[in-house]
Structures are given as C-alpha cells and as structure tokens.
A = this chain, B = another copy of it.
C-alpha cells in the first residue's frame, strides 16, 4: 500500500483507510482540522436543535424549514471525520478518539445513516416519522458525545 504509507497513514487507523486518500492532506495545521470538525458539529447541533424544537412542540411545524435543516444535517454529517486524522488531537475531543478510532468510525457510520434517514423522513412531511428519525439521530449523537467529547 504505497500510497497510504506515503501519506503517513497507519494500518491501525481503520477510519482513515476508509476515507479518501486525499483526506489528511486537507489540513495544513492541527488547528485547521479542529476548527473544521468543530464548525461542522456546531452547524449540525444548531439544526438538530431547530428540528428538536419542532419535535418537542416548542416551535411550529414548518415542513420546508425542517426539510432544509435535515438536508443540511445529512450533508454536514459526512464532513467531520476526515478531520480526526493522526496528530489532530485536541479541542473537545477526548484522547480516547484516537485510541478507539474503529469505534469512532462505527459511531460516525451510524450517525451518517441516521442523518440520511432523518432527511428522508423530513421529505415525507410526516411529523411522526420525523419525530422517530430525529430521536434515532439524537441517540447516535449522544452515543459518541458520552464517550468521546469533553463536557
């Protein structure tokens, strides 16, 4: 695997092996990677909160707005993972992220799948389906946050 080793990938880093080979070349500095993933998570959280307010009945159900948020979350869900490459420790991410990168990758896959399902549910315009898919997505967020994000 010449290409991989040329890019400094470790065989143990399953998450990176599954990523585009250009991934770790995207961040010149560790701080860039941290800012990138934090920005993706911040926008994701903001739009999860918007849908959450609708699901909880705290905001009116505007199907178009929910669809816009869900589409954005689905897009954003794919972004952060390439920014957890070797040498990018820091921010709110616990060191465990880099020790258990396969578990993180599995959690990321669940989140991306749930976000795609939420997007599909939002397109249906059916609030009950949205509630269910939103709850499932929130669980995938929480699972990783509990284990891998500093309070």
Residues of B within 8 A of A39 (CB): 38-40, 42-43, 46
Interchain CA distance A21-B49 in the complex, whole Å: 18
| A50 at interface by CB-CB < 8 Å | yes
Interchain CA distance A50-B25 in the complex, whole Å: 10
Interface of chain A, helix or strand or loop or mixed? helix
| A36 at interface by CB-CB < 8 Å | yes
A to B CB contacts below 8 Å, 25 in the list = A20-B65, A22-B59, A22-B62, A22-B65, A25-B59, A26-B46, A26-B50, A32-B46, A35-B42, A35-B46, A36-B42, A36-B43, A36-B46, A38-B39, A39-B39, A39-B40, A39-B42, A39-B43, A39-B46, A40-B43, A43-B43, A43-B79, A72-B75, A72-B79, A75-B75
Interface bits A26-65 vs B (CB < 8 Å: 1, else 0)? 1000001001101110110010001000000001001001
In the A-B complex, the 7 residue pairs with the smallest Cβ-Cβ separation, listed nearest first, are A39-B39, A39-B42, A39-B43, A36-B46, A35-B42, A75-B75, A26-B50
Within the complex, what minimum Cβ distance (angstroms) separates A80 from chain B?
A: 10
Interchain CA distance A43-B42 in the complex, whole Å: 11
Residues of B within 8 A of A43 (CB): 36, 39-40, 43, 79
Interchain CA distance A25-B62 in the complex, whole Å: 14
Q: Which residue on chain B has the smallest CB distance to residue A22? A: B65
